[in-house]
Structure 1
Amino acid sequence: MLQEYRTVARAAQAEIVVKRSRFICAVWPVQDREEAEARIAEWSQLHARATHNVPAFRVGLGYLVEGCSDDGEPAGTAGRPALSVLQKEDLRQVAVVVTRYFGGTLLGAAGLVRAYTDAVVAGLAAAGIVTMRHHTALEIQSPYDLLGKVQHYIAAAGHPADPPEYGAEVRWRVWVPTPAVDRTVRDLSELSAGRLILRVGEGAYRPVEGKP
């Protein structure tokens, strides 16, 4: 399992115009190949009258699967350049389609490569890039007199936390990078002299603040 990976932050679109040809890049974060292909198919159907709909995707948090197509453009001038941008940025869980509406002027092989490359670069800029890191939920139940110490430890460690629930004791969920879970449990147990109730919960990928 990957501890972290880079992907796009949100679905987005961007358009560039090259010699009156419109190149519209649509970008999506996706979970798997099936979702990537579904997004691509839906977009291509929406733009069925376009001259070309050129897809590319990279998915898989274990085994990496990549795909692309020139969709009728000269071989190697469209799909491969689009995929190369995703590879250069080392992105996963991402799908793109570049839709071309022909403007009447042939661009040549080099011009097509530049246009499809630039369209994907523009699409990624619109979507934003984020690093996703695998975290594990740590459920904490704390007496009120320990709350300040625990909050200080969590803040100093930089672990994101869900809003606390206040009752007879304070309960809240802290998201700890998975490799640091055992150390965090040990530290909190020592800090509280064993008075905290700690439960290790599920794992999930979460965005890393300030790290593209």
Structure 2
Amino acid sequence: MAKRSLLCLNIMGKEYCTIKQRARHEVVIQKSRFVGDAFYVTSEDEALERLQNVKAEFPDATHHCYAYIVGQEGLIQRFNDDGEPGGTAGMPILQVIQNRGLKNVLVVVTRYFGGIKLGANGLVRAYSRTAAEVLDRAGTKRMVLSPRGIICLDYAYIGQVEYFLRQKGVHVTQAEYTDKVTLQVVVPVGWDEFCGMLREMCGGNVEFREMTPVFHSWE
């Protein structure tokens, strides 16, 4: 995990690491039940909506503590102890996310009090552990800022072009089949390089339109 975390921190605005999938993990400590939820989110509004969904699912819980980091630049970072002693819940969750170099992530830890007080140190350990274990379950993926655009070609070339796209690992996000074939793609190489290879393959009989790059996982 240490190597992955160090690698994820080296983003320089062109890539970042986040979770692979939505995850839930439960821990019982001294009769208190801690339910951890991890979400991929792309905005603060989405993070707050996910939080409200968790609260609605567990309306009788004692606490819903959380932390999230949103954005690639000018990061938004928030945490909340939701009634636990200050610094014992939200901040430990946030620190687990930070230490792994993750972004666009929300972690909510829901607690049902079991009747035994854990003390400040015990609470920090419990919330940190739950956050770490639910993130382990969610996994990690790298999102890379990747070229995106549209290609338009005649049906005569579609067979070899589709084979080429599969071989190169190009991600086709949209396809339209009218008088010509129009494909919207995200590519793992430079846009000019990609266009050059296709242009040569199709003898110049292909049209291109570059679009705004997007973050995409190539794992």
| TM-score past 0.5 threshold | yes
Q: Find out whether 1:76 has 2:48 as its counterpart.
A: no
Matching residue of 1:192:
202
Q: Find out whether 1:3 has 2:46 as its counterpart.
A: no
The answer to whether the Cα contact below 8 Å between 2:174 and 2:185 also exists between their aligned partners in 1 is no
Matching residue of 2:5:
none
The answer to whether the Cα contact below 8 Å between 2:17 and 2:143 also exists between their aligned partners in 1 is yes
**Which deviates further from its counterpart, 143-152 or 93-102?**
143-152
Matching residue of 2:122:
111
SS in structure 2 at match of 1:161: strand
CA distance in 1, matches of 2:88, 2:175: 53
Query: Aligned-pair distance for 1:76?
Result: 2.1
**Gap regions ≥5 residues in structure 1:** none
Aligned partner letter, 1:7: T
CA distance in 1, matches of 2:179, 2:52: 53
Give matches, 1:37-116, under 5 Å. 37-116=48-127
Matching residue of 1:137:
148
Q: Find out whether 1:181 has 2:175 as its counterpart.
A: no
CA distance in 1, matches of 2:211, 2:152: 13
Query: Aligned-pair distance for 1:153?
Result: 4.2
The answer to whether the Cα contact below 8 Å between 2:147 and 2:190 also exists between their aligned partners in 1 is no
Cα deviations by residue, 1:80-107 (Å, 9 ceiling, x for unpaired): 1111111122111111211111112222
Q: TM-score, normalization: structure 1?
A: 0.81
CA distance in 2, matches of 1:145, 1:39: 47
Matching residue of 2:134:
123
Query: Aligned-pair distance for 1:36?
Result: 1.3
- Length, aligned pairs only: 208
SS in structure 1 at match of 2:204: coil
Cα deviations by residue, 1:95-141 (Å, 9 ceiling, x for unpaired): 12111111122223332222111111222233333322333433223
Identity of counterpart residues, as a percentage? 36
SS in structure 2 at match of 1:92: coil
Cα deviations by residue, 1:59-98 (Å, 9 ceiling, x for unpaired): 0122111111222323322111111111122111111211
Aligned partner letter, 1:25: G
SS in structure 2 at match of 1:55: strand
Cα deviations by residue, 1:31-53 (Å, 9 ceiling, x for unpaired): 21122123223433543432222
Q: Find out whether 1:24 has 2:35 as its counterpart.
A: yes
Aligned partner letter, 2:168: A
User: Taking structure 1 as reference, are residues 169 and 41 closer, same or farther at Cα in structure 2, changes over 3 Å only?
Assistant: closer
User: Taking structure 1 as reference, are residues 70 and 163 closer, same or farther at Cα in structure 2, changes over 3 Å only?
Assistant: closer
Aligned partner letter, 1:194: G
Query: Aligned-pair distance for 1:193?
Result: 3.5
**Gap regions ≥5 residues in structure 2:** 1-11
Aligned partner letter, 2:193: R
Q: Find out whether 1:207 has 2:217 as its counterpart.
A: yes
Q: TM-score, normalization: structure 2?
A: 0.79
